[in-house]
Structure 1
Amino acid sequence: MSTSRKQVILGAYLGGVNHHTAWWHPRAGSQIDFATFEHTARTAERGRFDFFFLAEGLILRERAGQIFDQDIIGRPDTLTVLASIAAVTEHLGLAGTINTTFNEPYELARQFASLDHLSGGRAAWNVVTSFDAFTGQNFRRGGYLDPADRYARAEETLNAVHALWDSWNDDDLVADQSSGRFLARADAGKFAFHGTQFDIAGRFTVPRSPQGRPVILQAGVSPQGRAFAAANADAIFSPYGKLPEAAEFYRDVKTRAVAAGRSADEIKILPSASFVLGDTEAEAVEKYHAIRNEQVTGQTALILLEQIWNRDLSGYDPDGPVPTIDPDPDAAPIIQGRAFVHQDRFATARRLREVAETKKLSLREVVIDQFERGPLVGTPAQVARHIDEFVNDDGSDGFILGSHLVPWGLDEFVDRVVPLLQDRGVLRADYTGTTLRDNLGLPPVRSGTSDRRHAGTAR
């Protein structure tokens, strides 16, 4: 294959509290034991993946005031897990989801700069927001933010964190020849940030980390979310796994990045995807349908639709038709703690009814058909070809991959698909960079004495 083809970025995510994980499988492992995280990370590194990604839920999800009885409960603290994984890997990036709504810039800057030092330059922060009082009840400040303010706080939080990271320059630690120690310059670590959310000043305790700044990840579908990500993120999670929607999203975000004064290459677009492999295409499709039928039970299908309808649908037959009643967006939320990704409840309900009518599907079959993260289904050769062509047709810059089987599922992809991607010349045979930024093809972030930034304001 031509070496001019785009290189595929690969991230690995660990399936957790959701209906995509086959927690009942005889070979399924714990969601809490360190061995689960270690095996997934080591497998990803063996496959020359760019990074390991952890999502985070800040509260146990509920339906009508009761904990979901089909959810997996339990996930250790993200940064603790990533720091532990840093000790058993050498090259793999370590990406963690941490909320801007309930955390302070100083804490965030210190935690991620520390992880970047401990890992030798492999830290990444997935910047997310939370605006609901249900999640906020676990925190001192509660649900104090109006939904419209969440990106304002997120952007100011990120700007403040950047000011803290940039308070140290690369040359602020100077070798003292007489003692053999490194001494800090007099103004090292000084910062001041004045905004609408934060008014802070002091000295930052962590010297500039190997990447200068840890990699910033973000997910945003709305125009506001896309604008925030295009201006601030190094990579953005795309919700689109199929063309042409994926290519349209790709072009839109890259265009927004250029409009924000950046190069289009400075932001990477990465959809998440599951995979099912077979020795033949027919075998893979059969396995995929069997897995999905087990994952999406009748109860699961009803709960997924309840989040859209915001109504109690327990009286509906999962094997019957999609509800004809309209959603009730003004009622108290029946589902709590699950991110709402549908921009328009009424339009989504209409679309599901139209799909059901066109394809002659029941309620549960519609959910199986529509609530999937762009699965990669086929033989290893077919999946490798699809990934290569999708990336080189500018549907994305890579994929974040996860399996229904935790933690063993990723092994099959690494053993059977990775060698084919390497043969096609679109995946590294070995790591060449020393940091996550290097491996992602992102420009380095360095700061010299002449461009020190002691202060920042919300843009």
Structure 2
Amino acid sequence: MSRPPKEVHLAAHFPGVNNTTVWSDPAAGSHIEFESFARFARTAERAKFDFLFLAEGLRLREQGGQIYDLDVMGRPDTFAVLAALSAVTERLGLAGTINSTFNEPFEVARQFATLDHLSGGRAAWNVVTSWDAFTGENFRRGGFLAEADRYTRAERFLRAAWTLFDSWRGDEILADKASGRFLTTPSPGAFAVHDDHFDIAGHFTVPRGPQGRPVIFQAGDSDSGREFAAATADAIFSRHGTLEAGQAFYADVKARLARHGRTPDSLKVLPAATFVLGDTDADAREQAAVVRRQQVSGQTAIRLLEQVWNRDLSAYDPDGSLPDIDPLVGESHIAQGRASVRMNRDPLAVAKQWRELASAKKLSIRDLMIEVSARQTFVGSPATVARVINDLVQADASDGFILVPHITPGGLDAFAETVVPLLQERGVFRTEYTGTTLRHHLGLGAAP
């Protein structure tokens, strides 16, 4: 007996200025003024998306001792933006990345509980860890933790926050309101957390929100990250957007749930995805090539190459050949605060691979950077993109996608106007919101 079609989940990521956005395009607007966030959120809500997602940077990235070009717009505070968006939207979920390495449970739980109240139950927390001392310099508790310790602290942090969220019991407070008596036993908001990371006790200041607890997202791809998600998260972000890689990741994280007493539908797998639409598939491919060259200018190509070579390469021609010299391997690095530095753990091997690729395809530095940093997941006509998205979801390569447009704030418009109706015609995407909370949008059960 075949199963009914799975519902497709869609979300939108406001990317700010990074290597995905084409900030130089005349259609690009501000990446920090509130109206950009508001327009983007309204489009996502009009299309009945599950949620809007904001990443967060806790320090401006640097390269060669200077602020990295694409960070000069700044990185506004996540909570402030999401709280403001709660006033201009009604149903759209509001998800924010908040770090568990440098923050403290009380302040983060208080902010998310407040956001959940302000939004009527639409708050979500992407729990992340931090891996570098460079970012830690912005905080009193500087430095960084080993990977295993980061995830241990993250789990202790999250469980401490849950203790705070759960410290107010709704039924007891309602009973007290009905009787007209003050509730003294148990004391509302009383909490105590004593473990190897936190030693806190007191009274939480915010009553339990509409969702009880915010929806929890997790983005780690390592074994530790996947296990953390299986134990604690409601959704996990993924960079595996193709069929085979997506199915392998999906099967792996879903299989981990049983040992934590959870069912497969209690964790949603949501890869990030970019898109380029055209009137035809051929038209979309042509536009995609233009977008890639806009995303990777000559200057950007040199910057990206420097992150592997760990050298000042500003004298090199981006339309010329790769440097003859090898990457500089050492503790210090020309780029600070960039995940790509950590991902390229063996720069000599990467350089060898890139040289072979450049030689085989006769690629310049810029052409090579376009080739190796491609981020275009869906390219085609609206009909093609709708079909591929649905095929991947039905094949258990994902439960949906978090869309990252290359133009903000208007880059989501075409997808909302052309692809979403086709998914709705297939009966795999909602035509109206049927609930008010993000937990409902995602098909999750009530929080414990």
Q: How does the TM-score come out when normalised to structure 2?
A: 0.93
Give the distance between the partners of 1:418 and 1:8, measured in 2 at CA.
10
CA contact (8 A) 1:219 1:238 kept: yes
Report the Cα offset of residue 318 of structure 1.
Answer: 2.3
Give the distance between the partners of 2:102 and 2:259, measured in 1 at CA.
30
Report the Cα offset of residue 333 of structure 1.
Answer: 1.4
State which drifts further: 141-150 or 268-277.
141-150
SS in 2 for 1:200: strand
CA contact (8 A) 1:170 1:208 kept: yes
Distance 1:316 1:260, change over 3 A: farther
What residue number does 2:386 align with? 384
CA contact (8 A) 1:309 1:345 kept: no
What residue number does 2:215 align with? 215
Distance 1:184 1:112, change over 3 A: farther
Give the distance between the partners of 2:402 and 2:182, measured in 1 at CA.
40
CA contact (8 A) 2:54 2:97 kept: yes
What residue number does 2:195 align with? 195
Q: Which amino acid aligns with 2:343?
A: H
CA contact (8 A) 2:130 2:144 kept: no
What residue number does 1:450 align with? none
Report the Cα offset of residue 189 of structure 1.
Answer: 1.7
Q: Which amino acid aligns with 2:428?
A: V
Q: Which amino acid aligns with 1:240?
A: H
State which drifts further: 217-226 or 307-316.
307-316
State which drifts further: 270-279 or 333-342.
333-342
What residue number does 1:454 align with? none
Give the distance between the partners of 1:170 and 1:250, measured in 2 at CA.
36
Q: Which runs of 5+ in 2 are unaligned?
A: none
Report the Cα offset of residue 3 of structure 1.
Answer: 8.9
Give the distance between the partners of 1:434 and 1:392, measured in 2 at CA.
26
State which drifts further: 386-395 or 339-348.
339-348
Instruction: Note if 1:139 corresponds to 2:109.
Output: no
Give the distance between the partners of 1:74 and 1:135, measured in 2 at CA.
15
Give the distance between the partners of 2:42 and 2:413, measured in 1 at CA.
10
1:95-149 C-alpha deviation (Å, 9 max, x unpaired): 0011111110001111101111111110000111113121111111222534552
What residue number does 1:421 align with? 423
Q: Which amino acid aligns with 2:447?
A: V
Distance 1:257 1:302, change over 3 A: farther
% of aligned pairs identical?
Answer: 60
Distance 1:185 1:61, change over 3 A: same
Distance 1:177 1:375, change over 3 A: closer
Alignment of 1:144-183 (within 5 A): 144-176=144-176
Q: Which runs of 5+ in 1 are unaligned?
A: 447-459
1:243-262 C-alpha deviation (Å, 9 max, x unpaired): 21121111111112223332
Structural RMSD (CA): 2.1
Report the Cα offset of residue 222 of structure 1.
Answer: 1.5
SS in 1 for 2:170: coil
What residue number does 2:294 align with? 294
Report the Cα offset of residue 72 of structure 1.
Answer: 4.3
Distance 1:178 1:310, change over 3 A: closer
Distance 1:204 1:76, change over 3 A: same
What residue number does 2:345 align with? 344
CA contact (8 A) 1:128 1:219 kept: yes
CA contact (8 A) 1:51 1:95 kept: yes
Give the distance between the partners of 2:274 and 2:161, measured in 1 at CA.
33
Report the Cα offset of residue 418 of structure 1.
Answer: 0.7
State which drifts further: 48-57 or 135-144.
135-144
1:210-266 C-alpha deviation (Å, 9 max, x unpaired): 111101111111112222122111111101121211211111111122233321211
Report the Cα offset of residue 361 of structure 1.
Answer: 2.6
CA contact (8 A) 2:17 2:70 kept: no
Q: How does the TM-score come out when normalised to structure 1?
A: 0.91
Give the distance between the partners of 2:177 and 2:315, measured in 1 at CA.
78
Report the Cα offset of residue 176 of structure 1.
Answer: 5.0
Report the Cα offset of residue 19 of structure 1.
Answer: 1.8
Report the Cα offset of residue 186 of structure 1.
Answer: 3.2
CA contact (8 A) 1:18 1:72 kept: no
What residue number does 1:109 align with? 109
Give the distance between the partners of 1:177 and 1:330, measured in 2 at CA.
64
What is the aligned residue count?
445
